Amino acid sequence: MQRTAEDPFALFEAWMAEAATTEANDPNAMAVATATPQGAPAVRILLLKGLDERGFVFYSHDNGRKGGELAANPRAALCFHWKTQGRQIRVEGPIERVTAAEADAYFATRAKMSRVGAWASKQSTPLDSRATLEAAVATAAARFPDETVPRPDHWGGFRCVPTSIEFWRDMPFRLHERRVFHRGPEGWAIEMLYP
């Protein structure tokens, strides 16, 4: 491994900008993998909603399965895959909570019914019928008749603070290019991996 002055966040942003020109839907979609305290894995697709030098941000309910797993085992792995670009990026690291101010600011940008839905949904718990969910949405919408819908306490954000970021490019004959940035106390180091 060698130390590098190259910034993996800048490289990520460049790849994301290119993906935004070719991906028909949600170039910011990523697989988010978590695990229970016993090590049982779970993965789902979420949307990246923020990125800076601190890490990769996504939002969700605290009391759903994902939130419970992150509370018990605050580590995650993310994977972005852009087939049209022949690229993927893998991110691994610990999870920290975003501040209430950050969560409030993002929540306010969501469509009103998405904000209402955050109040109505008991994420990841059993639901007896679609009608029950629709009734809960109607109740929440009546509670917040105007555009002001505050963020519920059970809804917030998570930041994956990367310890490693791998950039993968499709190459002929499956001889793919893999570069991994590893974060250390003195900055980033980089290594190449066999495909």
Helix (H, G, I), strand (E, B) or coil at 185: coil
The one catalytic residue among 97, 174, 179, 183: 174
Whether 174 is a known active-site residue: answer yes
Long-range contacts of 114-122 (CB under 8 A, 24+ apart): 115/144, 115/149, 115/151, 116/140, 116/141, 116/144, 116/149, 118/61, 118/151, 118/152, 118/155, 119/143, 119/144, 119/149, 119/152, 121/61, 122/63
Closest CA to 59 of 140, 154, 143: 154
> DSSP character for 105?
H
Q: CA 173, CA 99: separation in Å to the nearest integer?
A: 46
Residues belonging to the active site: 174
